[in-house]
Amino acid sequence: MRAVLVVFGLLTGAGSAIAEPAPVAVCSVTDERLSELSGLAARGDELFAVNDSDNGRLAVQVMDRNCAITRTTTTSINPFDVEDLSLAPDGTLWAADTGDNGKTRETVALHAVSPDGTARLYRLTYPDGKHDAEALLLDGSGIPHIITKETIGSALVYRPVSGLIENAPTPLEQVARVSIRGTETPGGPLTNPVVTRVVTGGAMSADGRVAALRTYTDAYLFPVPDGDLAKALEGDPVRVPLPDEPQGEAIAFDGDGALLSASEFGNGGVSSQLRRVEGAVAAAVPPEPTPTTAPTSDADQAAPPATAAPASPEPTSPWPVVGGGAVALVLVGALVRRSRRRRA
């Protein structure tokens, strides 16, 4: 597949880059078992996906590169609201059962699913009340980080205070905030800036160098140079527009550093596209420039050092990037797609 040109600019006031490669359609998801596709992961020739639905069992669908389901890994777990999927290096798929549109859950959960369908359930508790969350990231040490979906204010990042345990809830601690501004990228379930800034999915690159968070309309790439994911998520990301997805929630990195995204197609739709953005990791972590040293003549070495005049500050040129519009609390209800689900 041909590489897509990446063009950079500067985000106003944030010092972050904006990448505008055009996402390229790979294949169409038409199977009703993924009409509410919310979580995605990739490994080799296979794609792993979960549906945001409550049919009594957690099922991971395995697709080929033509978006055809080739097999299903079914567990005995009855989830409440699975919203994201992450793939660990050992092949374990971590399902984020963290959705809570109505803010009713006393605990949220992570499900560690082995290839044979064996699953382990880990319950989690927030330190500061109930949250709706649709994004999960595993850092280089395998520690899960849950990112909340906030219609007002910054997204919050939580991780376990200690190791996960199966027989009792594990307390979470807040370790970071992610500030995402509204944009003018079209798409999403509503025509309002709020849909361009709420976090709906996450992914980590295979080498752990880049974390990605997405909204309904854009992806944000955060370099993780030292393995400190919480610190990285408070830095300046590279924004990748993902326009015209009706309800974009799924995102994943391919093994070669490309970014994959997909949308739900329920509520009257018949299919959605799996799309690919080439060179995403490279866009977030550009190669180091090769230093060059000019040759020094004998005359230059003998000459006394000159007194340099103070440099004039370079003019800055603000680039308008984000769309305006205040976020109203009534949009919380508009973004709730349905009230459903039983406890796991």
Q: What is the pLDDT of residues 186-205, one digit of tens each?
A: 999 998 899 999 999 999 99
Check: CB of residue 170 under 8 Å from CB of residue 160.
Answer: yes
Give the separation between CA 158 and CA 144, rounded to whole angstroms.
8
Its pTM stands at 0.82
Q: What is the pLDDT of residues 32-90, one digit of tens each?
A: 999 999 999 999 999 999 998 767 889 999 999 999 999 999 998 999 999 999 999 99
Predicted pLDDT at 320: 32
CA separation, residue 320 to residues 59, 199, 323 (Å)? 43, 22, 8
Predicted pLDDT at 67: 98
Predicted pLDDT at 304: 47
Query: Which are the contacts of 23, defined by CB distance < 8 A and separation ≥ 6?
Result: 242, 243, 261, 275, 276, 277
Closest CA to 49 of 118, 11, 95, 14: 95
Q: How far apart are the first and last CA of the chain?
A: 42
Q: What is the pLDDT of residues 98-117, one digit of tens each?
A: 999 999 999 999 999 998 88
- Extract the residue ranges of the chain whose pLDDT is less than 50: 1-15, 299-344
Structure tokens at 53: 């639905």
Query: Which are the contacts of 125, defined by CB distance < 8 A and separation ≥ 6?
Result: 106, 107, 108, 169, 170, 171, 172
Where does 37-143 show beta strands of DSSP type E?
37-43, 46-51, 59-63, 69-74, 84-87, 93-97, 108-113, 119-125, 133-138
